[in-house]
Amino acid sequence: MLPSLLLIIVCVSSVAAATQSVGVQGQLMCGNAPLTDTDVTLWELHDLPEPDFQLATVKTDSSGRFSVSGSDSTTFTMKPAVRIYHRCNNDGTLGLPNLCQREVTYQIPSSYVFSGSAVNNWYQMGTMNMQAKQPNEQSHCASNPIRSVLGRR
């Protein structure tokens, strides 16, 4: 009985999956200067045990502006978020550069998720100054060569 029920759920879920899209635009600053060449990644957030899914990634331009969009086929309304990885106001110790990046995640309202592969209405994040510590900020050290040799993130 249970295997049959699971098979039915899987079949219905695969048929009901539809393409959904989201797009985000904004500008990043570091104090009074544009935050250039900064990674902005669009994610679809999932509940455990399914991992989050990266939809797209871009770098900010010479003015700190970015425009990122992505789409995915999913059964339920996607929960998109933008993750920004930067080094604004992130000095190291003893005069050495900090190899870790600051990582900030911003969830995008579901009202900006649209059916189909085209973005109908872009979510405007506005101009954001990344100099001050953000409430949901953490340190991202995956690119740290010393930590990778030690097998740590």
- In one-letter notation, the amino acid at residue 77 is T
Q: Locate 54 and state its tokens.
A: 């990266």
Question: pLDDT-based confidence at 29, cuts 50/70/90?
Answer: very high
Domains along the chain with CATH numbers: 19-134 (2.60.40.3330)
Phi, psi of 111 (to 5 degrees): -70, -10
> pTM of this prediction?
0.77
CA 17 from chain centre, in angstroms, equals 22
Q: Locate 49 and state its tokens.
A: 């045990």
| pLDDT value at residue 16 | 66
Greatest Cα pair distance in the chain: 66
| Cβ contact 61:25 at 8 Å | no
| pLDDT at 144 exceeding the cut of 60 | no
| pLDDT at 153 exceeding the cut of 50 | no
Secondary structure element (H or E) that encloses residue 142, with its range: none
